[in-house]
């Protein structure tokens, strides 16, 4: 009896077999629980943080933090030699200064 799976039918079956095999290899990786991220470090008020760490705490990009330094609207920073650092307490104060009770609340600005 002749094989009914000839030509393009065989190519389709080959593709199905290929993707089934590929997906079965990927599936175990997809079902694994996500890798645990490193534990967040707790900072004390006097800790000095690099701009990357400060940006992560403020949930902004480091470039945004740099722009804020230039325009004077961001948290207070210190220059140690050529390095820019932020005190953790200054980041907390900056966040607290931005707290508002409502959208019409002007906060500390008078």
- Please check whether residue 109 is in contact with residue 68, taking contact to mean a CB–CB distance below 8 angstroms: no
The torsion angles phi and psi of 83, rounded to 5 degrees, stand at -95, 140
Can you name the residues that pair with 107 across neighbouring β-strands? none
| Structure-token pair, residue 110 | 């008078």
What distance lies between CA 24 and its chain's CA centroid? 30
- Which tens digits make up the pLDDT trace of 17-48? 777 766 565 555 555 566 666 566 788 888 99
Query: pLDDT means per 10 residues in the chain (110 residues)?
Result: 62 76 58 62 86 94 95 94 94 90 72
Decide: pTM greater than 0.75: no
């Amino acid at each position: 009896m002749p094989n009914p799976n000839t030509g393009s039918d065989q190519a389709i079956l080959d593709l199905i077999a290929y993707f089934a095999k590929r997906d079965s290899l990927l599936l175990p990786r997809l079902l694994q629980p996500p890798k645990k991220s490193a534990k967040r470090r707790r900072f004390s008020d006097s800790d000095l943080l690099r701009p990357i760490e400060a940006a992560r705490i403020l949930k902004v990009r480091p470039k945004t933090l740099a722009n804020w330094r230039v325009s004077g609207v961001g948290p207070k920073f210190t220059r140690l030699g050529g390095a820019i650092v932020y005190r953790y307490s200054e980041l907390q104060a900056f966040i607290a200064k931005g707290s508002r009770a409502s959208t019409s609340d002007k906060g500390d600005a008078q």
